[in-house]
Amino acid sequence: MPSMLDKLTALFIFGVLVPFLALAQPKDNSPITRYGIGDVYRGDFNQTGATGGLFGAWTDPYRVNPGNPASLPYLQTTSLEFGLFSRYNQFEQNGSSQAVWSGNLDYLSLAFPLKSRINEILDKKVSHWDYATGFSASPLSLVGYDVELTQDIAGIDTIKSIFTGEGGLTQVAWATGAKYKGLSVGLQLGYVFGRIENNSQLDLIQEVAPYSTRSFATMNVRGFRWQAGLMYKHYLDPESEDPQKIYNRRAMTFGVYGHAGSGFNTFSDRLIERINIPYTSSSFLARDTLLFTRDEKGKGSLPGQLGLGWAYTRGSRYQVGINVEYNFWESFELADKQDLGLTYQNTMRISTGGEWTPDVNSFRNYFRRIRYRAGLFYEQDPRVINGQTFDAIGLQIGFGFPVLLPRQQISFMDLALEAGRRGNSEIQQDTYFRIRLAATLNDNSWFYKRKFD
C-alpha cells in the first residue's frame, strides 16, 4: 500500500513538470505556423497516438484516454503518465527544402479511480458504480518559424524580409467521470494559456540611406474550455467467473465527445520602428517609432468539436476501432490576427487502429505480454492560405512494454512511431517522422483501507 509520502511525491512530480511543459516550447521551423495560433495539437497520449487517435470509444484499465472523459471510470489503478517526443521534419517550399529536428516534454497526466477494487473484493460487496478523476497538461498549439526572403527590384536595389516567431498555447485540465454498468459520462474543464511572438524585419538595402522597418508583436492568451463525453459498452458474452471466459469476453463500445466553442482573452504588445543604418558602422544612426501599444486587450474564440467512435474488444486480448471527428473552425476568431490571404475551414479527421496483446498472462514469453499497436489517419488542416489547403495523412505503430514494480504492480514503458505527410507543393509540403516515449506508473491501492483484527 502506498504511503502518504508516495502520494505526495506523485503530486509533487505533476506540479513541478506542469510549468516546465508550459515554458519549454520545442523549437520548430514551419512557415505556416505564423498563421493563426500555429499548428494545433489534438492532445493524444502515447497509446491513443499509436492507434490512429481513437478518442471516442477507447478504454483502458491502466491508461488515460485524454479525448473522452467518459473513459475515466474504466481506469482501475492510479496512473501517473508522462511523455517525451522527438520529431524530424523535411519542409519543401518553392523548390527548396530544409530538415529540422525538434523535441520536448509531450504531456503529463495523473488520474485515479475514486474507489478501490481491493476493498470490494475483501468486503465481498460489488457495486455497479465506478468513479474516477484526473489532471493533465498538454500543448494545444505550437508556433515556430524563421524565414528569410531576398528580392532584387529594379530601381530600388535589394529588399530582404525576415519573419520569425515562437511560442504556443498549453492546456491544464481537470476531468472526472462516472459509470453505471455499461453507461458512462465524463466532463473535463481546462484552462488555456500561452504566449505567441510574431516578429518581422524588412531591410531596404540601397546605396543611399538604407533602412530597416521592424515589427515586434507579442500576444498572451488566457481562457477556459470544456469537454464532455458519453460512452456505452455492450457486452456480447454473459458474465462469468471463469478466467478464460473473462480473458475472451467480447464487447462493443460506442462513444461521443465534444464541446461548444469557447472564448478567450488576449493581451498584446506591439512595436513598429524604422531604423536608418549607415554602411560605415554597425550602430544605429536613427530610430523612429511608428507604432507602440502595450497590454492591448482583445478577444477570440476556439472552435467547437464533435467526435464519434466505435470499438470492438475481446477481453484483454485486442481492441480495434474507428473514429470520426469534426471541428467547427469557421467560427474561430482571433482579434490580433493580421493574416492576409488566410481563411478557416471546418475540418474532419477520420482514423482507425487497434491494439493486440498475444497473451497478457504469459510468464514464460515476455514478447507475448507486449501490447502491439497500429493506426492510420486522414486529417484536414483548418487553415486555407490563398485557396490552398494542408491535408495530412499518417501511419502509426506502437508498443507497450509491461514492467513489474514492487508489490507486483504492473506499469508500462510505451513507444510510438509516426510517419506522415501534409500540405502541398504550392505553399508548403511537410514530410515528418515522430518518435514518442512515455512511462506509466500504476498503483491499485491508493484508496485501500487497512483492516486490523
Handedness of CA 357, 363, 364, 367 (dihedral sign): positive
Domain extent at residue 243: 4-443
Q: How far apart are CA 205 and CA 192, in angstroms?
A: 42
pLDDT of residue 239: 81
Asked if the structure places residue 361 within a domain, the reply is: yes
Q: How far apart are CA 7 and CA 12, in angstroms?
A: 9
pLDDT of residue 445: 66
Asked if the structure places residue 448 within a domain, the reply is: no
Asked if the structure places residue 67 within a domain, the reply is: yes
pLDDT of residue 452: 45
Tens digit of pLDDT at every position of the chain (453 positions): 444 445 545 555 555 555 555 555 556 677 888 888 999 998 899 999 999 999 999 999 999 999 999 999 999 999 999 999 999 988 887 777 788 888 888 899 999 998 866 666 556 667 789 999 999 999 999 998 888 877 777 666 778 888 999 999 999 999 999 999 999 999 999 999 999 999 998 887 765 667 788 999 999 999 999 999 999 999 998 887 777 777 789 999 999 999 999 999 999 999 999 887 665 555 556 678 888 899 999 999 999 999 999 999 998 899 999 999 999 999 999 876 556 678 899 999 999 999 999 998 888 899 999 999 999 999 999 998 888 888 999 999 999 999 987 766 889 999 999 999 998 877 788 899 999 999 999 987 655 555 544
Question: What ranges in 24-114 are assigned the alpha helix state H?
Answer: none
Asked if the structure places residue 206 within a domain, the reply is: yes
Asked if the structure places residue 264 within a domain, the reply is: yes
Q: How far apart are CA 67 and CA 322, in angstroms?
A: 14
- Residues 6 or more apart whose Cβ sits within 8 Å of residue 311: 54, 56, 57, 58, 59, 252, 253, 255, 319, 320, 321
pLDDT of residue 96: 74
SS3 368: helix
Backbone φ/ψ region at 124: left (φ over 0), alpha (ψ -120 to 50), beta: left
Asked if the structure places residue 450 within a domain, the reply is: no
Number of domains in the chain: 1
Burial class (CB in 10 A: 0-12, 13-18, 19+), 367: exposed
Nine cell digits for residue 49: 497516438
pLDDT of residue 388: 84
* pTM for the structure as a whole: 0.87
Residue 119 dihedral angles phi and psi, to the nearest 5°: -60, -40
pLDDT of residue 95: 72
pLDDT of residue 453: 46
Asked if the structure places residue 246 within a domain, the reply is: yes
Provide the CATH number for the domain around residue 382. 2.40.160.60
* Cα distances (angstroms) measured from residue 146 to each of 97, 100, 143, 162, 381: 14, 11, 10, 7, 21
Asked if the structure places residue 449 within a domain, the reply is: no
